[in-house]
Amino acid sequence: MGNYLESLPDGWTIYLWLVVGAIIILTVLYWIFWAAKNEQFDEDIKYVMFTEDDKEKMDPAEYAKSREVIKAQIASRERFKAKEAERQKQHA
């Protein structure tokens, strides 16, 4: 193997780096599209951590927003579970 690598012409490593770089870029793009498709870029996710006990500590508008976000997250979870159940039915 060492003799083979020494017999290659000068500058062959740049092509190896180009291929590896292209693979990395394609992998990153795939995961970005996956994340967008699976609701991973939700900026309001920070409101999920609040509970009913935080009502008096929060601004009323912010508290209302946290309740809306939690309802949306529960609905998203139910959609996911329904899709997963349908997928399980199809494979069974």
Q: Which of 35, 29, 67 is nearest to 48 (CA)?
A: 67
24-64 pLDDT tens trace: 999 999 999 999 988 888 888 788 888 888 888 888 899 89
Burial classification of residue 72, based on how many CB atoms lie within 10 Å of its CB (0-12 exposed, 13-18 middle, 19 or more buried): middle
How sure is the predictor about 23, in pLDDT bands with cuts at 50, 70 and 90?
very high
What pTM value is reported for the model?
0.59
**Residue 42: phi, psi to the nearest 5?**
-90, 110
81-90 pLDDT tens trace: 999 999 999 9
Q: What pLDDT is stored for residue 8 in this prediction? A: 79
Looking at residues 14-33, what average pLDDT do you find?
Answer: 96
Q: Which of 64, 60, 62, 66 is nearest to 47 (CA)?
A: 66
Domain boundaries, the chain: 1-40, 42-92
What whole-number distance in Å separates Cα of residue 70 and Cα of residue 23? 38
